Amino acid sequence: MANTRIIDLVRAKRDANVKAGKGKDHKPAKRTGDLAVAAIIGGLQSPAWEIYMKHFGETTPFAAGQLERMCARDDTKDSGTFNEKRAYLVANGTCGMTSPDTLNLDVEVNSIDDGLAACDPNEVPEG
């Protein structure tokens, strides 16, 4: 079985933010939003971009190549398709608690793992 996909990490962060928000704790979603805004302002090669992307691996560790993919430090750095997915991942986060609680965090991000040997985006994890 493949490792956890990037989209699964994104959905886990979204689900944790939504769950916290339902309990009236909007701080996790606000943090996601604040990190996303900093990433946009800093740009793709900035420390803020990497910090935003790393926050998706706080619960489940990244598989080989995933953080590099999310930060465009792999062979997809010039790919329009992958750059669009990275852009959606950051733009979706800017909604913070207003979406509500980053509910739309995963929109247009699926298949960002394409080509990573550790994570087959087409394999559905068991469980």
Residue 125 lies in a domain: no
User: Tokens 């469980």 correspond to what residue?
Assistant: 127
Nearest-angstrom CA–CA distance, 32 and 53: 10
Mean pLDDT of 51-64: 92
Q: Return the higher-pLDDT residue of 104 and 28.
A: 28
User: Using an 8 Å Cβ cutoff, are 55 and 35 in contact?
Assistant: yes
Nearest-angstrom CA–CA distance, 95 and 37: 9
For 102-127, write each residue's pLDDT tens digit.
777 777 676 777 777 666 555 555 54
Residue 118 lies in a domain: no
Residue 121 lies in a domain: no
104-113: b or e for each residue (b if 16 or more CB lie within 10 Å)? ebbeebbebb
Domain that holds residue 32: 6-98
pLDDT at position 116: 75
pLDDT at position 1: 43
DSSP 8-state assignment for residue 62: P
Mean pLDDT of 15-38: 94
Residue 70 lies in a domain: yes
Q: How many domains does the chain have?
A: 1
For 61-105, write each residue's pLDDT tens digit.
899 899 999 999 999 999 999 999 999 999 989 886 667 777 777
Calculate the alpha carbon distances from 8 to 40, 42, 104, 109 in Å.
22, 25, 13, 10
Residue 12 lies in a domain: yes
Residue 124 lies in a domain: no
Residue 108 lies in a domain: no
User: Any residues with CB less than 8 A from the CB of 111 and at least 6 apart, and which?
Assistant: 7, 85, 121
pLDDT at 22 over 50: yes
Residue 106 lies in a domain: no
